[in-house]
Structure 1
């Protein structure tokens, strides 16, 4: 069996249906090349995200190793353990509903704390379930907190506020409800009185996920490049097999 390779004739010598086929082949090649570039760029973006996340984790570790700092005014630094100086605003405490702990439903107690300069910091004092006590313990001692990014939430519609019970920590709705200035920061209490369970600090996830995503995108990019070359080679030549 032998194979005879016949070059493609110039475009002006092709029949109309052959010209249409040629255009479709080139359009498919351009589209596939675009996908190869896109998947390669997405892999590079995930690698950049991994480096960015690793840098953030190192910064958080450095901040949390620093000694405790007393803070009384202005926007507090994130991730560092602070002893806030000011006063609790227990009358404006809210409870975030439907929060789970060890398979039990309860509330997150969010109590505003006013610094010496009047700035408001929202403190998550921990998880609490009514049980035998219908009211949670009142905040009294100056809080030791770790400042964190504002918690994210998705809400399809504005859920009605029931007394002090909110579904999510919506700053605008809280400020309007409590008649207070807009809070400037959110922190998680390091200590809690009996009956309240303090929460762990939410640290960013590690870089392994981003590296896995980058590898997946680059594998798809390599596969796309291989397919592109195969299609390109087939489009550049025609062949007829004879036995």
Structure 2
């Protein structure tokens, strides 16, 4: 009899465990959605804040204004960057600021030419320049790409350590996306990242739904068991 009782209890224990687990997963997805929502609000606040000079430890998305001169020899082209279906490059050039710091600036997008072995040329102003932009962290290395990020000035992804080693230019740990109106032919249509708030909320609803289904099935089987036991006692 005791073996039968344990056997009867096991499905309910499994149901309770599934219910608890799915509720926890739903709560985790809810927290992730709230974190991403807060990040979106911070991004919007940083974008609307007055421009400042580049701090020693700047916040991502902070609006900054730089004064300095371009180090044109350190320019690189991030390859395979598509804009409205057209392949091209993102041009990055280091800027040496008034206080001697060096920071890589994402200057904009330009289309690739017919001859992919030749990188397109871009007019770069000489002398003192003023650059407005947003602070960004470098993108993570895509999983599918090789460990070697560059072939000369053509790069598949930005690796700051590799850039410093190759060029000898000690750039900062952040980059700046230039937002000035374009006068050099570059397109500065920087996409905002998809934070996935709605996606996390959708996952949370799914997990809570599974928790409710698990609880409902436990209750239904328990009710059937109770009805069955009651009928057996009446027959006896």
Mapped partners of 1:44, 1:77: distance in 2: 28
Q: 1:217, CA displacement in angstroms?
A: 1.2
Q: C-alpha offsets along residues 142-189 of structure 1, whole Å, 9 cap, x if unaligned?
A: 211111233233234314621111111112211211123253212211
Name 1:173's counterpart in structure 2: 162
Name 2:138's counterpart in structure 1: 150
Q: 1:51, CA displacement in angstroms?
A: 2.0
Q: 1:83, CA displacement in angstroms?
A: 1.0
Contact persistence 1:114–1:121 (CA under 8 A): yes
Match of 1:138 among 116, 121, 124: 124
When residues 115 and 29 of structure 1 are mapped into structure 2, their CA distance, relative to the original with a 3 A threshold, is: farther
Contact persistence 1:88–1:114 (CA under 8 A): yes
Give the number of equivalent residue pairs: 224
Unpaired segments ≥5 residues, structure 1: 1-9, 12-18
Name 2:71's counterpart in structure 1: 89
Unpaired segments ≥5 residues, structure 2: none
Name 2:204's counterpart in structure 1: 214
Q: 1:197, CA displacement in angstroms?
A: 0.8
Q: Give the greater-gyration-radius structure (CA).
A: 1
Contact persistence 1:96–1:168 (CA under 8 A): yes
Mapped partners of 1:160, 1:51: distance in 2: 35
Contact persistence 2:94–2:171 (CA under 8 A): no
Name 2:185's counterpart in structure 1: 195
Contact persistence 1:75–1:184 (CA under 8 A): no
TM-score in terms of structure 1 length = 0.77
Q: 1:28, CA displacement in angstroms?
A: 4.0
TM-score in terms of structure 2 length = 0.79
Q: C-alpha offsets along residues 23-46 of structure 1, whole Å, 9 cap, x if unaligned?
A: 555444333322211211111112
Match of 1:120 among 102, 105, 109: 102
Contact persistence 1:46–1:214 (CA under 8 A): yes
Q: CA RMSD in A?
A: 2.9
When residues 236 and 149 of structure 1 are mapped into structure 2, their CA distance, relative to the original with a 3 A threshold, is: farther
Contact persistence 1:74–1:119 (CA under 8 A): no
Contact persistence 1:92–1:178 (CA under 8 A): yes
